[in-house]
Amino acid sequence: MLVAQLQSGLGLVANRAAGGDFELAHDVCQEALVIIIRRLRTTGLENPAMLAAFAAQTARNLVIAARRKTQRQRTESYAETIEAIADPRPAAQEQLSAGRIAAILNRIVAELPGERDRTVLIRFYLKEDDKSDICRDLNLSELGFNQVVFRARNRLRQLLIESGFEKGDLLDWESCP
């Protein structure tokens, strides 16, 4: 129950704090949940209403700690060697999950009824164009725009769950079977 309530929000906090490093965000999210549960089972919180704030700060602190740890482990003499050995690509499991997400999105894009809907998604999500600009360029009402995004989002949710992503685990790409 607690996990279901906090996981999505914690994922967002951790993702932003980690600068979009999904692997780190995933680890931090899990670790933060463990810390929060332990804390609640032992000393508890002085003000239970501050649970969300405590969770967010825990996630941010964990990201900072992870970054410091990485900095400490990086020594001048070995830095180049490590960089030469380390594979810069994402872990295999993450690559697999990312590939499945991409496949799902490819399917969603292919299912779109027209080129205009496709353009809406690409401009809005990928190019991060302003909504009003997109509506003006495509001669689209705000309602029409919202419908396109709403339909795509719902289809994504449906396909993700069908593909084995548990509800609330959408940022947890490694959790898919």
Partner 1 sequence: MSGTLPLPPDEATVTAYLSNQLPEPQAEAFEMYCLDHPEFARMVELDLTMKRGLREIGMRDLKPRAALRYRPPWAIAAALAAVIGCGLLWMWSPWRAELVAYRSPSEVPLQLRAGVHVDMTFLRLRGSDTAHRLVVPRRVGVLQLKIYPDTAPGRDGYSADLALDSIVGTRSVILDRLRTDADGFLDLYLPLSAVVGHTLNVTLTADADSSAAPAPAFRLQVVAATD
Q: Which of 40, 135, 151, 168 binds partner 1 (CB under 8 A)?
A: 168
- CA atoms lying within 13 Å on the CB side of residue 28: 32
Q: Which of 24, 33, 63, 101 binds partner 1 (CB under 8 A)?
A: 101
Contacting range for partner 1; rule: CB under 8 A; set: 40-48, 62-70, 76-84, 156-164: 156-164
SS3 138: coil
Closest C-alpha to 32, from 49, 47, 51: 51
Round to whole Å and give the CA distance between 101 and 126.
15
- Pair 121, 141: CB distance under 8 Å: no
- Please report how the helices 2-17 and 51-73 are oriented relative to each other, as an axis angle in degrees rounded to 10: 40
SS3 92: helix
Q: How far is the CB of 55 from partner 1 (least distance, A)?
A: 6
Six token digits for residue 84: 């030469």
39 touches partner 1 (CB under 8 A): no
Here's the x/- map for partner 1, 47-76, by CB under 8 A: it reads as ----xxx-xxx-------------------
37 touches partner 1 (CB under 8 A): no
Residue number, 16 or 74, with CB nearest to partner 1? 16
- Pair 89, 95: CB distance under 8 Å: yes
Residue number, 144 or 168, with CB nearest to partner 1? 168
User: Which stretches of the chain bind partner 1, using CB under 8 A?
Assistant: 4-13, 15-16, 22, 51-53, 55-57, 98-99, 101-102, 104-106, 109, 115, 118-119, 121-122, 124-126, 128, 131, 146, 152-153, 156-157, 160, 167-168, 170-171
